[in-house]
Amino acid sequence: MKTIFRNLGLGVLMAGCAAVNASGTFAQDATQDVCANVEANQALYKKYTDNYAGKIDQVKVAIAAAKEYIGKYEACADPKTNAPLYADQVTYFKGALPEREAFVLKAEKGAGDKALISRIDVAAKAKNVPEVFVSGKEILNREADFSALALDVAITLTTAGFNQAVATPPVDTYNADTINYAKNAIQKIEAGKTSESWGIWSYNLKNEKFQDKKNYALGALNYIIGNITYRQAKDNADKRKEALGYYYKSTQYNSFSKTDPTVYQTISKWYLDEALKIDKARTAAVVAAGNKDTEETLAMFALSKGYADRSIDALARAYKLAKEDKIQTKPYTDGLYTTLKELYAFRYDGKTTGIDEFVATVQSKPLPDPSTTVTPVKEEAPATTTTSETTPANTKPVTPVTKPATTPTKPVSTVTPTKPEPKPAADTTAVTKTKKPAPKKKGTR
């Protein structure tokens, strides 16, 4: 029995080997037939050369022919010498394929981008902002991050969103996206990317009055971030300070915001709010200490004066710029001056001597950077006051300044705006002016 199975197994093994040899021989013969078919080889080669420099669909045919050629003929060898028969052609195709495939990808991508840009144009003309954002985001998802098109689209989405934010009534749907795209555009520009159009269709940051398009765009983008952030912050002092940083940056470029009085008015208002907040806390601390000043309250008094000085500096710039701008109305300009005088008097014991000289020279020095620490102003300490002396009944409000109704906020404009981008809605909440106490008598504490 064992012998029978042993012989049977040997027979199966021999049959299997014979099958393998037969199959291998057949495959070898088939390969030799393909390699020997010079006519088919040349037809496939010609199929490539007839199409490789054509349109997208033709190039795709050439790519397919090149891949088929490599698959069929790369292993072909001379039966006598075993040398490759078609080495030159195969090497050429392997080198050419990546470039041809890249061409197809770029062409298809370009055609897709062109269609998306056309969609943005149509949507922009129809003021269809949702479609502008949808098509714009699709382009950014397809486009290399630092391409010129990516910059133009980022600017387009920024300006489209900002126009919504300053509309009447405002539409805040795109505020977060608008800020992100503005920051993205700033990053691209600062990294060296430039553009001819600085946006798409009417959603651009160009103004023919400004030759340096890069500086104009950087000023406008920082202004947009500052404007939206400030308005969203409401009573959040930290967020408003963040907004001030962007407003400040916008004034450092040769752009419309550099001479926009409402930018400086907004900065002044923030400093004044902080000064009054410190002064209110100081008054409470004096009362808590038995109506006596302490080292802490004296330090608070000095710091509040430092904030008041910065507020005066910014408001003086706002007034000077408004006075020089023929577009600004007289009621607005006069209102700024009235507020400036009252703030000046609040800071300097009721005196306004030297205010006009200060205004005349204020622009000869740099605007203080809001990110820098405010320097306390250490002067003669205030007298200790009683609670009754600092009650609201004994205070006088500083005159608020509002933009006249005849000069509404304007959206980021089309190709050549006559008046630059929208002004921030000035926060004109009335502020309280605390009476400055009389100086202490010598020897008192």
pLDDT one digit per residue (tens) for the chain, 445 residues = 333 333 333 343 334 444 444 444 444 555 668 898 999 999 999 999 999 988 888 999 999 999 999 999 999 998 888 899 899 999 999 999 999 988 888 777 666 667 777 887 888 778 889 999 998 898 888 777 777 888 999 999 999 999 999 999 999 999 999 999 999 999 999 999 988 889 887 888 988 889 899 999 999 999 999 999 999 998 888 899 999 999 999 999 999 999 999 999 999 999 999 999 999 999 999 999 999 999 999 999 999 999 999 999 999 999 999 999 989 999 999 999 999 999 999 888 889 999 999 999 999 999 999 999 999 998 655 555 443 333 333 334 455 454 433 332 333 333 333 333 444 333 433 333 333 433 333 333 2
Which of 160, 156, 165, 179 is CA-nearest to residue 424?
165
Quick check: 266 and 427 in contact, CB under 8 A? yes
Q: Is 440 helix (H, G, I), strand (E, B) or coil?
A: coil
- Helices 2-36, 56-73: axis angle to 10 degrees equals 130
**pLDDT on residue 441:** 35
Quick check: 339 and 312 in contact, CB under 8 A? no
Q: Per the structure block, which two tokens stand in for 27? A: 């495959």
Quick check: 233 and 297 in contact, CB under 8 A? no
Amino acid letter for position 311: S
**pLDDT on residue 378:** 83
**pLDDT on residue 388:** 36
- Phi and psi angles of residue 199, each rounded to the nearest 5 degrees, phi first: 135, -175
CA–CA separation, 21 and 5 (whole Å): 24
- Helices 148-165, 87-125: axis angle to 10 degrees equals 20
Cis-peptide into 370, omega within 30 deg: no
Q: Where are the domains of the chain?
A: 1-36, 39-111, 127-259, 265-445
**pLDDT on residue 21:** 47
Quick check: 165 and 171 in contact, CB under 8 A? yes
**pLDDT on residue 117:** 77
Residues 404-442 pLDDT 10s: 333 323 333 333 333 334 443 334 333 333 334 333 333
Residue 84, strand partner residues = 77
Quick check: 140 and 156 in contact, CB under 8 A? no
CA–CA separation, 427 and 217 (whole Å): 25
**pLDDT on residue 389:** 37
Residues 76-110 pLDDT 10s: 998 888 899 899 999 999 999 999 988 888 777 66
Q: Per the structure block, which two tokens stand in for 62? A: 């050439």
Alpha-carbon dihedral 253, 219, 337, 229, rounded to 10 degrees = -140
> Could you say which DSSP state residue 257 is in?
G
**pLDDT on residue 297:** 95
Which CA distances in Å does 134 have to 131, 137, 148, 418?
Answer: 5, 5, 19, 30
Q: Which residues, other chains included, contact 303 with Cβ-Cβ below 8 Å and sequence gap of 6+?
A: 278, 374, 376
Which of 279, 177, 166 is CA-nearest to residue 230?
166
> Could you say which DSSP state residue 431 is in?
E
Q: Is 86 exposed, middle or buried (0-12, 13-18, 19+ CB in 10 A)?
A: buried
> Could you say which DSSP state residue 169 is in?
S
Placement of tokens 């003669």 in the chain: 380
